[in-house]
Structure 1
């Protein structure tokens, strides 16, 4: 009985000692990095980011500026401390197992310079000049815009998605309350396949336009007849070089010719577009029975003449026809 009691006491005494010895070995296999982070005035900086370059070990300073973390790395590494509004701190340190390294970090303030911010009154433009938000090519590549100016404008705040067409309903207003202007002239029929809610596409291709300005509010009295919004478009200027563009698709074909007659003085542009959806509906085996498949074509002639440095004359002729039957 005595031998059993002595054996039990021996186990109880040996076990804590062995655990303590194992813990000491574990602590000697890591290196501890600790210290403080302050500014030039000695004020502690909270939430500074301290880490070893190229490794995942690191810590964040507390409200007193103190930090501490362990690492299994050995050798020479760069200790980095970063904080918004201050220059990044870097220092080479040597790491050894069981070593405690204390680093006092003093950060110096650094001015943050940003580019100027321009605030406009709910205005979005599409042109190749400074301060714009879209170019003509970006209209074509806007997801879900179907390469259409009106569909691209519908992705902006203030324009409501009422139905699946291209109609511009601004903040609950009717589609007729948004005015459309081309080269200073009001466009009475700005949509293809017109309906009471506008139409399915815009009349003008983005490649016929130099730029587009859209405002859902805050526009000048020049567009005072508009109740909800204003869409102002400008046709292209004198083409810089002779160019022929041809496009062919499953439901549409297009062609465009740019011809500069007198450099920077006189030029013309001619284009034509034709869309016939019959083949597309038949290949996709649509269940919709049309008495007239959606069909449209348009022709455009644009003559540009610069008679002085600031004087410009434009002749824009556009003819469009569309048919659809249910």
Structure 2
């Protein structure tokens, strides 16, 4: 009942603010500036003379792009608008659901596709399609989404990683982390990218080698439209098996300084942006955020075993030049810690303490130089750090003293550099090729106190190695209906000279202006986590060895076919069928073992591994989406799938992530108060039903004997948790005054308080098995001011 009282309290605050604003605001008509840049989809060069018009505006509002492809439209009324972009020789484009507020100027960056037909044959295409992503080479298994959707979808915590869990084929983590499971693959097979550059896992409270955490380090306020790819990737993408999350930072306003402040239960942040100098072209954008849960815990408002504390900083600096190209400097970084007291579930007695910390940071220098209107060179240099530490102390009998039983310090530093060449040869042919190098420097140590009170060392290495990757990809438009892409990716892991040459291909046929069919194929590879390579394993004579240094890259062949159709102007349907053949998977070097890295959720492996495992993932995905129009939207997604694997025992088993099905329904509605677009109530909901995760039962007797968890691996992943039902809601009220926009948002995750059993684990402090459950009902409130 405590959680329901919290919800009522937060709702009362919300209603008080709403009622006060409803009394004081009048019907003043406010306006704002809409501006941006229009580029060629294939060459990324600015388009001169493109026309941008606000649809259904009276009088007509619009503008044309200048020599740098920039447009500006003044005095646009507040509310949601639709933009029509046209240019001679290009297909028209519609951008709908653009939210115009009083606090910030609206920046729209869009691309147009060159038409292959003569001018008098051009048919206006006024259909929006969110499967069209920013990478011009991608034709299958891609989805673009906006920062507006990240903020709008219920249950996201303003976290882009949680937003993509609403898409078909993507499972979220019921226990509360933002791990992303794509088409039955381990979340460790995800690749994170920022501005097209690979980055470490950008999440707070993340272990080295994992891909998720409690909350994303990058605030949604920093993002522009971003892309997510779930299979058969273009040849540009390497060292990834399951999914690519390519987040894009927006560029700071170069014409005026703007600010936003957010205060909420999860965190308090401030965003600054503007020009370095008045009238100049260079700009900055920065966001700083820190957690506020510590204060709320002291007040007794929230009930946590340990208080999660974090802070993060993200920024982007943009320096356009007249002759030397565009220089950008961007980075993100975060620190997070949590200290917890471990209590016995039955007696509530204190049995241990743990202390976890994590850090991540990356700074990147990018440069784009146009050789001519059709060709450009993009280069980057980046440095990143990521690491984690964990210490467990257990109480000594009835004494008030503790002994350390686990100690973990994992740190990695990465230097990356690369360059790529893009050339739009003509309207039919586009070529992109590139090469990059990654150098890893690492310091890993992990120790565990065994039942003889002796510390066993599982990791103890400081070393370095590198990886070379190169690619070439080509897109050919046979005619206005047929488009073919093909390419190859090369990878060489210098640690053990593991090499792969990976062909990729896709084809798309436009049946008519509303529907198309497409197919894709690709060979992909990924290196396991570096902590798995350096695991220390005792041989039969008791000698310490590192048997995994020669482990090869994991590989998968992806096949995808699909069909999509615009059923009406704002109603979109898509289905994809996929099959993934995974091979050369590291499994335990034991003919009787069921252990495989396909089930890993962290980066460490306490086994001697060989590349003799395999797996298959296959399924069908459906999406029906009504884009935001007439003040509402909905999104219905569903997936049926199988995820199986074989280890060295040659027995086919379910993977940990084989839930067999998942479905999501999202709905949102906006209401204007008193007929004024200055005051808006937004109601959003998400209902998801996900098949249960598989788990392996704990062998309690063996675990107690060794003092650490031992699973019944002869029956690996034969147990099934509960199916997970989750209902999330959010309600926001926003109001505009001249020069400012304010919003208060109330959100509740797991509104029904469902407590599905997700997994089983061994508590070494109490020597008992326990179950982990679905994240309980969790309400949040957030106030935002933009000015």
TM-score by length of 1: 0.56
- CA displacement at 1:289 relative to structure 2: 3.0
In structure 2, distance between residues paired with 1:264 and 1:174: 47
Indicate if the aligned counterparts of 1:180 and 1:186 stay in contact, CA closer than 8 A: yes
Matched, 1:157 2:173: no
Indicate if the aligned counterparts of 1:276 and 1:294 stay in contact, CA closer than 8 A: no
Matched, 1:255 2:275: no
In structure 2, distance between residues paired with 1:151 and 1:255: 22
CA displacement, residues 153-204 of structure 1 (integer Å, 9 cap, x when unaligned): 1111111134321111111111121101112321112211214572111121
- CA displacement at 1:236 relative to structure 2: 1.7
In structure 1, distance between residues paired with 2:314 and 2:212: 22
Matched, 1:314 2:328: yes
Match of 1:189 in 2: 201
Q: Whose strand fraction is larger, Structure 1's or Structure 2's?
A: 2
In structure 2, distance between residues paired with 1:252 and 1:285: 15
Indicate if the aligned counterparts of 1:250 and 1:279 stay in contact, CA closer than 8 A: no
Match of 1:79 in 2: none
* CA spacing shift, 1:261–1:115, aligned 2, 3 Å: closer
Local SS of the residue matching 1:296: strand
Indicate if the aligned counterparts of 2:253 and 2:283 stay in contact, CA closer than 8 A: yes
Matched, 1:274 2:286: no
In structure 2, distance between residues paired with 1:249 and 1:147: 11
Q: How many residues are matched?
A: 204
In structure 1, distance between residues paired with 2:151 and 2:195: 21
In structure 1, distance between residues paired with 2:323 and 2:230: 33
Indicate if the aligned counterparts of 2:172 and 2:178 stay in contact, CA closer than 8 A: no
* CA spacing shift, 1:242–1:115, aligned 2, 3 Å: closer
* CA spacing shift, 1:270–1:115, aligned 2, 3 Å: closer
Matched, 1:166 2:181: no
* CA spacing shift, 1:151–1:267, aligned 2, 3 Å: same
Match of residue 206, structure 1, among 199, 220, 226: 220
In structure 2, distance between residues paired with 1:139 and 1:309: 37
Matched, 1:219 2:238: no
Match of 2:746 in 1: none
In structure 2, distance between residues paired with 1:299 and 1:114: 41
Higher Cα radius of gyration: 1
Match of 1:305 in 2: 319
- CA displacement at 1:284 relative to structure 2: 4.9
* CA spacing shift, 1:155–1:264, aligned 2, 3 Å: farther
- CA displacement at 1:286 relative to structure 2: 4.9
5+ unaligned residues in a row in structure 1: which ranges? 1-112, 127-134
* CA spacing shift, 1:232–1:264, aligned 2, 3 Å: farther
Indicate if the aligned counterparts of 2:201 and 2:212 stay in contact, CA closer than 8 A: no
Indicate if the aligned counterparts of 1:306 and 1:313 stay in contact, CA closer than 8 A: yes
* CA spacing shift, 1:305–1:187, aligned 2, 3 Å: same
- CA displacement at 1:298 relative to structure 2: 1.2
CA displacement, residues 79-107 of structure 1 (integer Å, 9 cap, x when unaligned): xxxxxxxxxxxxxxxxxxxxxxxxxxxxx
How does 1:106-125 map onto structure 2 within 5 Å?
121-125=140-144
- CA displacement at 1:115 relative to structure 2: 5.4
- CA displacement at 1:269 relative to structure 2: 1.9
In structure 2, distance between residues paired with 1:281 and 1:312: 46
- CA displacement at 1:238 relative to structure 2: 3.8
* CA spacing shift, 1:310–1:165, aligned 2, 3 Å: farther
Match of residue 148, structure 1, among 142, 154, 159: 159
Higher relative contact order (CA 8 A, sep 6+): 2
Match of 2:251 in 1: 237
TM-score by length of 2: 0.24
Match of 1:4 in 2: none
* CA spacing shift, 1:147–1:309, aligned 2, 3 Å: farther
CA displacement, residues 126-168 of structure 1 (integer Å, 9 cap, x when unaligned): 2xxxxxxxx2122111111111100001111111134321111
In structure 2, distance between residues paired with 1:300 and 1:161: 25
Indicate if the aligned counterparts of 1:238 and 1:265 stay in contact, CA closer than 8 A: no
In structure 2, distance between residues paired with 1:187 and 1:197: 11
Local SS of the residue matching 2:144: strand
Indicate if the aligned counterparts of 2:190 and 2:211 stay in contact, CA closer than 8 A: no
* CA spacing shift, 1:286–1:139, aligned 2, 3 Å: closer
How does 1:29-48 map onto structure 2 within 5 Å?
none
In structure 1, distance between residues paired with 2:161 and 2:325: 30
* CA spacing shift, 1:322–1:219, aligned 2, 3 Å: same
In structure 1, distance between residues paired with 2:301 and 2:224: 39
Q: Whose helix fraction is larger, Structure 1's or Structure 2's?
A: 1
How does 1:88-127 map onto structure 2 within 5 Å?
121-126=140-145
Q: Comparing 142-151 with 269-278, which one deviates more in the overlay? A: 269-278
Indicate if the aligned counterparts of 2:264 and 2:292 stay in contact, CA closer than 8 A: no
- CA displacement at 1:283 relative to structure 2: 4.3
Indicate if the aligned counterparts of 2:272 and 2:287 stay in contact, CA closer than 8 A: yes
5+ unaligned residues in a row in structure 2: which ranges? 1-123, 132-138, 341-787
Indicate if the aligned counterparts of 1:254 and 1:271 stay in contact, CA closer than 8 A: yes
